[in-house]
Structure 1
Amino acid sequence: MTRFQLLKSIPLDELVTSVRRVPLVQKAPDGSDILVYKDANISLHSLKPEEVNPTTFYLIKRGLQLQRDLRTYLMGEHGIDSLNLDGALEISNSEGEIWTLTPPIIELAHREVAFIPGQGEIRYGSTFGVEIPIINDGAHRVQVARERGTKFTGLVISGIPREHPFYAHPNSWDLVRVVDETPKTKAEKKLYLREDCYALYRDFGVLGCGKPRHLGK
Structure 2
Amino acid sequence: MEISAVTPITRDELVAAVRRTRLQGFDQAEVYADADITLTRFDTDDLTPAQRYVLEPNVATVLELREALLAHGVDILALDGGVWVEIDGERIPVIPPIVEHSVEPASNNQGSRAVALINDGIHRVYAARTLGLPITVVHVTGATHPYYALALDGWADVTPLSELPDGFQKKAYRIPDNYKALFRDFNALFPGVQQQRKRSNPDHLKA
Taking structure 1 as the reference length, the TM-score comes to: 0.83
Q: Supply the distance in 2 between the matched residues of 1:90 and 1:69 (Cα, whole angstroms).
A: 16
Equivalent residue runs for 1:124-139 within 5 Å = 128-139=111-122
For residues 173 and 166 of structure 1, the distance between their equivalents in structure 2, rounded to whole angstroms, comes to: 18
Q: Residues of 2 paired with 1:107 and 1:5: CA distance?
A: 33
Deviations 1:9-46 (A, max 9, x none): 01011111111111111142xxxx31001111000111
Q: CA deviation at 1:54?
A: 0.9
> Bigger radius of gyration, 1 or 2?
1
Is residue 47 from structure 1 mapped to residue 42 from structure 2 by the alignment?
Answer: yes
Residue 81 of structure 1 corresponds to 75
Identity of aligned residues (%): 32
Q: Which residue of 2 aligns with 1:124?
A: none
- 2:158 matched residue in structure 1: 176
Structure 1 residues 91 and 204, CA gap change in structure 2 (3 angstroms): same
Displacement after TM superposition at 1:114 (Å): 7.4
**Would the aligned equivalents of 1:203 and 1:211 in 2 still touch at CA under 8 Å?**
no
How far off its partner does 1:184 sit? 3.0
1:25 counterpart SS class: coil
1:109-120 alignment, distance < 5 Å:
109-113=102-106
Instruction: Indicate yes or no: 2:175 matched with 1:194.
Output: yes
- The change in CA–CA distance for 1:48 and 1:6 in structure 2 (over 3 A counts) is farther
Aligned to 2:200: none
Residue 186 of structure 1, CA deviation? 5.2
Name the SS for the 2:86 alignment partner: strand
Output the CA distance in 2 between the equivalents of 1:216 and 1:107: 24
State the one-letter code of the partner of 2:46. E
Distance in structure 1 (CA, Å) of the matches to 2:77 and 2:130: 12
Task: List structure 1 runs of 4+ shifted beyond 6 angstroms.
Answer: none
- Report the secondary structure of 1:100's partner residue: strand
Deviations 1:143-186 (A, max 9, x none): 1111111111111001112xx21011111111212212234335
Between Structure 1 and Structure 2, which shows a larger proportion of strand residues? 1
Number of the residue aligned with 1:203: 185
Q: TM-score, normalised by structure 2?
A: 0.86
- Structure 1 residues 100 and 151, CA, compared in 2 at 3 Å: closer, same or farther? same
Q: CA RMSD in A?
A: 2.2
Does the residue aligned with 1:144 lie in a helix, a strand or coil?
helix
Q: Provide Cα deviations, 1:77-110, integer angstroms capped at 9, x if missing partner.
A: x12111000001111222x332211111111112
Equivalent AA in structure 2 for residue 19 of structure 1: V
Three-state SS of the structure 2 residue aligned to 1:63 is helix
- Counterpart of 2:57 in structure 1 is 62
Letter matched to residue 69 of structure 2:
L
Structure 2 match to 1:3 = 2
Query: How many residues were matched structurally?
Result: 197
Corresponding residue for 2:20? 21
Query: Which runs of 5 or more structure 2 residues have no equivalent in the other structure?
Result: 198-204
CA, structure 1 residues 42+112, in 2 after alignment: closer, same or farther (shift >3 Å)? Answer: same
Deviation larger for 67-76 or 202-211: 202-211
